[in-house]
Amino acid sequence: MALPTVIALAYLLSAALFILGIKRLSHPDTAPGGNRLAAIGMLLAVAATLLDRQILGFTWIIIGIAAGGLIGLVMAKTVKMTEMPQMVAVFNGFGGAASGLVAVAELLRVSGVGEPISVDAGVSIMAGTLIGAVTFSGSMVAYGKLQGIVSGDAVQNPLLRIVAILLALGSLGAAVYLVGVDIDLTVYWALVGAALVLGVLFVIAIGGGDMPVVVALLNSYSGLAASAAGFVLGNNGLIISGALVGASGLILTSIMCRAMNRSLANVLFSAFGSATGSAAGGDDGDRVATSIEAADTAMILGYASQVVFVPGYGLAVAQAQHKIRELADLLTARGVGVRYCVHPVAGRMPGHMNVLLAEANVPYEQLCEPDDVNPNMEDIDVAVVVGANDVVNPLARDDPSSPIAGMPIIECDRAKTSIVIKRSLSAGYAGIDNPLFYRPNNRMYFGDAAEALAAIAEEVKQL
């Protein structure tokens, strides 16, 4: 068999390993093996590429792999689970940038040869450049927002929107010119610059609480960028792998949107949550939120038979995942049935809360979804809301005029008792008041989530 055929078959095999690997991610028992299978697929693809005759020297390859491998290793080993969204954003950005640079290099090679560029190659290169650049700069802004370097508020300004539209049209025009008329490097670099700015404008317009959607969408883009690089190189292995990731990101994006009952366009362009506090008066005097202290909370929890914890982003901020598990263990030891109900958009990326709870050794079986809990909510003695707000807001169900109307919620207000651990009565990300706080069967525990859970656990020990 000729060498190119062997290499092509190796790419096919590696794509098959990716598919098998992702398939195994559907259960926690098979998932680690699936991930390793995908890693083997990647190793195979790299090994096959090194056989390619185009490769003349290995010095720079060794330098690049050693440097990248070391950085990747350190990042993966040291990142905190609460910071996982930032890290995935960075990796998305790097993947997008790598794909984009492959397209840039191909354009430079073609233009260096001086031949006219074929339309096929040109379109692939332009698509790769645009998607790669937008993915890179967008992911970097997402990282900045998640890390708190850039303000998490949605930056919305009609002028910026016009600039974004002009840039988008301009880069499309430039792409058409480059492919159809002439490869002018000045025009090409302008296109790269415009695409980078476009990525920044795209993400700064989106608020912190909508980050799960953005991270998922950028994940999809990084896959599409890899596919585009595959079209540039005429490599089906890249096309398949990129398409898998593109599909994965799209599915997660649509799941996140559905979990908020909002369209993707609404998430991307509506500046949701930027007008914080305006509607959150809480001034009507007849509504009283009843507060509760650790001892009484412990009493209620300790003598309950079914308890559901509802964690939100506040749990991650307070790093309280271990504290919640310690409390749950004490309760379990007393014969209390404990589960955790995680809303799909809780946290800053899909599945974020589940990872934190898994880190704290919460058994996989105790993690459940709103649909598992809501139908039998009346049987739940206590629903404990920790650092979540909008996802338990009954207005989503009761008030069709509410901004979050129709968003599926965890209906804690239907539990026999609900306890909300929160710093204050302030509104959540959506900027709207939460009537749950004022229900007769609700108690407010004011304080930091980690301290509150620790104090309650101490009291439970005394029972």
Partner 1 sequence: MTGTLLVGLYVFVLAMFVGFEIITKVPPKLHTPLMSGSNAISGISIVGALLVVGAGESPLMRWIGLAALIMATINVVGGFLVTDRMLQMFKSKDAG
Nearer residue to partner 1 within complex by CB, 233 or 299: 233
Q: What are phi and psi of 447, to 5 degrees?
A: 155, 175
Query: Cβ of residue 289: shortest distance to partner 1, in angstroms?
Result: 31
Element (H, E) at 108: helix 84-113
- Give least dist CB 329 to partner 1, A: 12
How far, CA to CA in Å, does 13 sit from each of 7, 50, 90, 227?
Answer: 10, 16, 28, 17
CB of 330 to partner 1, least distance (A): 17
Tokens 């912190």 locate to 208
Identity of the residue, 369 or 381, whose beta carbon is nearer to partner 1 in the bound complex: 369
Alpha-carbon distance of 157 to 177, in angstroms, equals 30
Sign of the Cα pseudo-torsion (98, 209, 402, 281, in order) = negative
337 token code pair: 């049935």
Shortest distance, CB of residue 237 to partner 1, whole angstroms? 7
Q: Are 454 and 323 in contact (CB under 8 A)?
A: yes
CB-wise, 13 or 247, nearer to partner 1?
A: 247
> By C-beta, is 205 or 238 nearer to partner 1?
238
- Choose between 41 and 152: whose C-beta lies nearer to partner 1: 41
Residue 242 CB, nearest distance to partner 1 (Å)?
A: 6
End-to-end CA distance of the chain: 75
98: helix, strand or coil: helix
Whether residue 90 contacts residue 109, with contact meaning beta carbons closer than 8 Å, is answered with no
Distance of closest approach, residue 161 Cβ to partner 1, in angstroms: 29
Nearer to partner 1, 35 or 374 (CB): 35
Q: Which is nearer to partner 1, 23 or 287 (CB)?
A: 23
Candidate list 29, 153, 184, 390, residue with the active-site label: 390
Q: Which is nearer to partner 1, 169 or 333 (CB)?
A: 333
Give least dist CB 52 to partner 1, A: 6
* φ, ψ of residue 276 in degrees (nearest 5): -75, 145
Amino acid 445 reads Y
390 a catalytic residue: yes
Burial class for 38, CB neighbours closer than 10 Å (0-12, 13-18, 19+): buried
CA angle at 242 for the pair 238 and 246, rounded to the nearest 5°: 170
CB contact at 8 A, 301 and 386: no
Q: Are 421 and 383 a contacting pair, CB within 8 Å?
A: no
Structure tokens at 277: 């506090």
Contact 100, 133 (CB under 8 A): yes
| Helix pair angle (236-260, 211-233), 10° resolution | 160
Q: How far is the CB of 18 from partner 1 (least distance, A)?
A: 5
**Cβ 434 to partner 1, closest distance in Å?**
24
* Nearer CB in complex with partner 1: 55/165: 55
- Nearest 5°: CA angle at 100, between 133 and 166? 30
Cα distances (Å, whole numbers) of residue 177 to 27, 170, 203: 49, 10, 27
Residue 137 in tokens? 């700069």
Q: Which of 305, 400, 384 is nearest to 340 (CA)?
A: 384
Could you give the residue numbers annotated as active site? 390
